[in-house]
Amino acid sequence: MARRIKLVLSYDGTDYHGWQVQPGMVTIQRSLEEALSEIEGMHVAVAGSGRTDAGVHALAQVAACTLENPIPVDNLRRALNRLLPADIRVSSVAEAAPDFHPRFQATAKTYEYRIWREEICPPFVRRYVYHFPYRIFEERFLEAAMVFQGTHDFTAFAAADEKDRKDASKVRTVWSSTAAREGDLLVYRVRGSGFLKHMVRNLVGGLMECARGNRTVDDLKALLAGNIETRSGYSMPARGLFLVSVEYC
């Protein structure tokens, strides 16, 4: 009897070409499908809550698949962690409703971007932060973060995406957009209804432009309002970005 399975996993995205299966590329989705297929004895398709880009990390990515194998969920979790590379870990496995889809039924996602501000970046964190030790006006970064809260057209902060439907809306709702200094880290956190390709990295890029004195808070507001016919212009490297959580009703 077919069972719908919900999986929550974390991964270090450094050595992967993102989440989505691509020909000839090592990806998170492909690695998970290969492990599940070995357990099932036939190909298993996996759906994810969204596509993280090459080099992006996840603390709690959500995925789902359909299995015929009656293996108990705890045993399935253990089997997957034996088969998967050590930089991908499945933290939980549960039975789900037959129609559960991790992307289409998600109600909110939270991302975090981490910037290491000190002169020397320890080798043990270098894969998980953007190292920027140079002088900036951090207070402007913190102030500008709040600009993105609310419902806006984020076209200026999105990369072109060939998978978008023609004329698809780029309006998204951001419920919280905050930044804080945490020891040696400058951390940006954003929670919203959904995110466009490279959107979070571009939001942080806009904040960095403010902190460097190249843009003002009013410039960011104008970009959101469509009053400047350019994109944000500064995208941050993938390694500092984490998918923190995905929420469901």
Nearest to 9 by CA among 35, 43, 40: 35
Catalytic residue among 12, 53, 167, 219: 53
> Is 201's pLDDT higher than 70?
yes
More confident residue, 212 or 231: 212
pLDDT the model gives residue 233: 64
Of 5-19, 168-182, 218-232, where does mean pLDDT reach its minimum?
218-232
pLDDT the model gives residue 145: 97
Catalytic annotation present for 53 = yes
Interatomic CA distance for residues 215 and 98, integer angstroms = 49
Of 77-81, 97-101, 183-187, 218-222, where does mean pLDDT reach its minimum?
218-222
Tell me how far CA of residue 82 lies from CA of 87, 143, 177, in angstroms: 12, 45, 38
- Residue 162 pLDDT grade (very low, low, confident, very high; cuts 50, 70, 90): low
| Both tokens assigned to 162 | 């060939």
- The mean predicted confidence, pLDDT, of the chain is 94
pLDDT the model gives residue 128: 98
> Is 87's pLDDT higher than 80?
yes
Interatomic CA distance for residues 122 and 125, integer angstroms = 6
Average pLDDT over residues 36-55: 96
Query: Cα 24–30–36 angle (5° rounding)?
Result: 145
CB neighbours of residue 54 within 10 Å: 17
- Among residues of the chain, what percentage have pLDDT more than 70? 94
Tokens 């466009």 belong to residue: 196
pTM of the complete model: 0.94
The full length of the chain comes to 249
pLDDT the model gives residue 207: 97
> Who contacts 21 (Cβ-Cβ below 8 Å, separation ≥6)?
27, 29, 30, 33
CB 102 within 8 A of CB 63: yes
* Domains within the chain, CATH numbers bracketed: 3-96 (3.30.70.580), 106-248 (3.30.70.660)
> Is 229's pLDDT higher than 80?
no
154-185: burial string, b at 16+ Cβ within 10 Å, e else: bebbbeeeeeeeeeeebebebeebebeeeebb
CB 100 within 8 A of CB 6: yes
Average pLDDT over residues 225-241: 79
Average pLDDT over residues 60-77: 97
- Residue 141 pLDDT grade (very low, low, confident, very high; cuts 50, 70, 90): very high
| Both tokens assigned to 67 | 């299995």
